[in-house]
Amino acid sequence: MKLRVFSSLPILPSFFLIIMVALPLLPVPGYWITLINYIGLYSLVALGLVLLTGIGGLTSFGQAAFVGIGAYTTAYFSTAMDVSPWFGLFIGLGLTLISALAIGMITLRMAGHFLPLATIAWGLSLYYLFGTLEVLGQYDGLLGLPAISFFGFELRSSEEIYYLIWLFVLLAVWSVNNLLNSRPGRAIRALRDGPEMAEAMGVNTQWKKVVIFLYAAALASVSGWLFAHMQRAVSPSPFNLVSGIEYLFMAVLGGILHVWGAVIGAAAFILSKELIQGIVPLVGIEVNIELIIFGMMIALVLIFARNGLWSLVEHFIPPNRKIEFNPDAAPLTKRIKPEVGSRVLTVNSIVKRFGGLVAVNGLSFHIDAGEVLGLIGPNGAGKSTTFNLVTGTLSATEGDIHFCGESLKGEHAREIVARGLGRTFQHVQLIPDMTVIENVALGAYLRGSFSAQGGVIASLFKLNKNEEDRALAEASRQLKRVGLEDEMYQEAGSLSLGKQRVVEIARALCSDPLLLLLDEPAAGLRHKEKEELADLVLQLKSEGMSLLLVEHDMDFVMNVTDRILVVEFGTPIATGTPSEIRENPKVIEAYLGGIE
């Protein structure tokens, strides 16, 4: 993902900054400044949507209601209570966060189209609430708000409030950018495309959804606060559903996958309306065709630039995905490895039923430290189910699983990875538009310190330098270990399947596992790629790693494992060393015979 415009192109942003600072000082018509102010206000909300909808995959039509909470809170406190607008900002933020937390806890569990509709529902409820509450002036709203004062200086005119608005916008862009390039941020970027994978890396995806929902709501609330004191009056209508739709509209128009898409989208939205207002009187004032032209213009933009206007800008920016970090950062703390030969994993007669279907029927096996076990069997033998039972994606109907002597019963995938069970996926689960090193660093998710250094708040304000250095240095070490250091800064989606599987192994290694579980690592690989993969497995074994290989490909397994377990219809039919298995008549009949 190309999120690093500031670092990749220092000239462009600093030029932009200089213009932004100088603009009101130049003899620019005051109205331009007003328009730019509105662009700023809308950008804040749209930016929240980039984080929430574009990156996180959670579509919300309800942001206007949070703008409303921010605006109404400060309006109420600064008129009825006569307190400083700054106080109103913090109360507004507090109220917004509390309501967003309550709403988020309830609705963010929803899947599919239910969530967007829920956002419409609570957005409308809040909007009508503004119109019916007597303390908020019902449909008349609240009038006569004071201007924001800054160290005794009142920000009354467009030029004066301009700096405050854009200070917030730039802060917001900066903070969202920081967040996305951090430990929690990489987890957030996995929410849309790989929630299951993120859980398996130890991410509490439900909570991450709440986090971005809260931040998007907070940005909307700040926008409402600025809007209220710029407009000096609030009434319900700017916070209705149509505005909620319009914010999403801006984000998509600008490019919902990119922080600057929010700003460009807001600018395009407002400027095109202005442009049309300038053209229409030439046609005649007795008709209203603004809305018609506006709709058509947007439709055309989307037809020709489906991913928003930013994608056109991006066209001219040379991609630079290099990420700066200190490679000599102190290494992350490691787990104490079990002694070679001690029992790592014990699976004791597990059974898994799906309704009437028995997928796994009384399977038992164990793995010792430093050992490579292969689990093979024909399609539908229950291999994947077994894999999912061990990694906590599914829970067993009967039987138990012990890891390093402790039961995994009832444990969630997140807790299991925390115990030192690293895994890969049968269908590669990388975030394709994230660089390889970032994908791998996601594996170290649980190895960071949470609140002080690597938490969301620290990440927003870039207080996580040390934390980031250590995580990225670890990721680069693991990439070196698997031989992919040259591909470190490529987009993961651009690699061949073979390399993507290796990236998955590196990501799993990044979690410092005691046991590595590989789910059909050779599936779909070419011969050469298989050989390289086999070498990697042997290398890991020689480094003392314990491995469980669930595989379909017989030859591959024969060459790299110490022991093999063959299953069919959910029951074990043979176990032994590769050479024993090769000669086992049952196996030849059930499995090898079937293929050849």
Eight-class DSSP state of 432: T
For residue 341, the minimal CB distance to other proteins (Å) is: 44
For residue 29, the minimal CB distance to other proteins (Å) is: 6
Whole-angstrom distance, CA of residue 66 vs CA of residue 228? 13
Whole-angstrom distance, CA of residue 575 vs CA of residue 565? 4
- Nearer to other proteins among residue 129 and residue 404 (C-beta): 129
Instruction: Give the residue from 219, 240, 226 showing the smallest Cα distance to 129.
Output: 240
CA angle 525, 531, 534 (to 5 degrees): 100
For residue 472, the minimal CB distance to other proteins (Å) is: 31
E strand or H helix at 372, and its extent?
strand 372-376
- Nearer to other proteins among residue 171 and residue 293 (C-beta): 293
For residue 532, the minimal CB distance to other proteins (Å) is: 35
**In a 3-state reduction of DSSP, which class is residue 78?**
helix
- Nearer to other proteins among residue 70 and residue 238 (C-beta): 238
- Nearer to other proteins among residue 67 and residue 179 (C-beta): 67
- Nearer to other proteins among residue 13 and residue 116 (C-beta): 116
Residues whose CB is less than 8 angstroms from the CB of residue 583 and which lie 6 or more positions away in sequence, other chains included: none
- Nearer to other proteins among residue 48 and residue 513 (C-beta): 48
For residue 133, the minimal CB distance to other proteins (Å) is: 10
The residues with which 372 forms a beta bridge, in sequence order, are 547
- Nearer to other proteins among residue 293 and residue 523 (C-beta): 293
CA 20 centroid distance within chain: 30
E strand or H helix at 92, and its extent?
helix 85-107
| Surface-to-core class of residue 95, CB atoms within 10 Å of its CB (0-12 exposed, 13-18 middle, 19+ buried) | middle
For residue 183, the minimal CB distance to other proteins (Å) is: 27
- Nearer to other proteins among residue 80 and residue 117 (C-beta): 117
Q: Are 325 and 468 in contact (CB under 8 A)?
A: yes
Q: How would DSSP label each residue in 320-362?
A: -------TTSPPPP-PPPPPTTSEEEEEEEEEEEETTEEEEEE
For residue 191, the minimal CB distance to other proteins (Å) is: 15
- Nearer to other proteins among residue 223 and residue 424 (C-beta): 223
Q: Are strands 546-551 and 515-519 parallel, antiparallel or unpaired?
A: parallel
- Nearer to other proteins among residue 354 and residue 461 (C-beta): 354
Whole-angstrom distance, CA of residue 533 vs CA of residue 64? 52
- Nearer to other proteins among residue 105 and residue 167 (C-beta): 105
For residue 57, the minimal CB distance to other proteins (Å) is: 9
- Nearer to other proteins among residue 249 and residue 569 (C-beta): 249
For residue 218, the minimal CB distance to other proteins (Å) is: 21
Whole-angstrom distance, CA of residue 150 vs CA of residue 547? 62
- Nearer to other proteins among residue 22 and residue 538 (C-beta): 22
The residues with which 347 forms a beta bridge, in sequence order, are 365, 401
Here the tokens at position 186 are 């990489």
Q: Are strands 571-576 and 406-407 parallel, antiparallel or unpaired?
A: unpaired
For residue 585, the minimal CB distance to other proteins (Å) is: 41
Whole-angstrom distance, CA of residue 349 vs CA of residue 365? 8
Whole-angstrom distance, CA of residue 365 vs CA of residue 348? 7
Q: Are 92 and 219 in contact (CB under 8 A)?
A: no
Q: How would DSSP label each residue in 101-144?
A: HHHHHHHTT--TTHHHHHHHHHHHHHHHHHHH-GGGTGGG-EE-
For residue 439, the minimal CB distance to other proteins (Å) is: 22
Instruction: Give the residue from 353, 256, 267 showing the smallest Cα distance to 302.
Output: 256
For residue 550, the minimal CB distance to other proteins (Å) is: 24
For residue 292, the minimal CB distance to other proteins (Å) is: 4
